[in-house]
Amino acid sequence: MKMLWGMVKLEFLHKYNFMKKFFFIAALVFIDQISKYQVIQKFSIGESLNLLPILDIYLILNTGVAFSLFDDGGSSGRWLLVFLVFLVCLYLIYILLTESLNNLESTALIMILSGGLGNLIDRSFRGHVIDFIHFYYDTYSFYIFNFADTFITIGVIIYILDIAIQKFRANGNKTS
């Protein structure tokens, strides 16, 4: 009986953990999509609004990948990107559902997946990604991006930090 209760408890915790991940992903994708919707409703392409001395909302449509790379691929390039991003998202979902991850790994992959899904939605249904966050300083202009790009970047940073932390801990536990 005790073993059965333990299995039921473990199954509940697994489902609870899955639901937390699902709602976190859904919330991040919602934030990305609602921000893009708001910008598209209030701005014309190329229109900008200065928020801070280093930050504008500046609407562009990106047909390429990160930072507008490969933006001249046409329709076949678009669908190739959709297919590749879809495969990456499926892989991340598989990892999140099947692997035993620590909190940092899980958070990192959730952020990367959420950003990928946000941009996948744009590229699939609009044919381009809506970018609007523009940081700059003096004559230097950083690429224009969106929240999905931010989620991906933060996720990658968290993942790299987690690898470094694990490596540091492993090296710190070695005896001479």
For the entire predicted model, the pTM comes to 0.83
Tens-digit pLDDT profile for the chain (176 aa)? 555 555 444 455 566 688 899 999 999 999 999 999 999 999 999 999 999 999 999 999 988 765 455 555 567 778 888 999 999 999 999 999 889 899 999 999 999 999 999 999 999 999 999 999 999 999 999 889 999 999 999 999 999 999 999 999 888 766 55
Give catalytic status of residue 131 as yes or no: yes
Range of the domain at 81: 2-172
Contact 63, 78 (CB under 8 A): yes
Number of folded domains that form the chain = 1
Q: Of the listed 32, 122, 149, 162, which one is catalytic? A: 149
Query: Distance between CA atoms of 106 and 131, rounded to whole angstroms?
Result: 26
Q: Length of the chain, please?
A: 176
Number of neighbours of residue 80 by Cβ within 10 angstroms: 13
Q: Of the listed 32, 56, 122, 131, which one is catalytic? A: 131
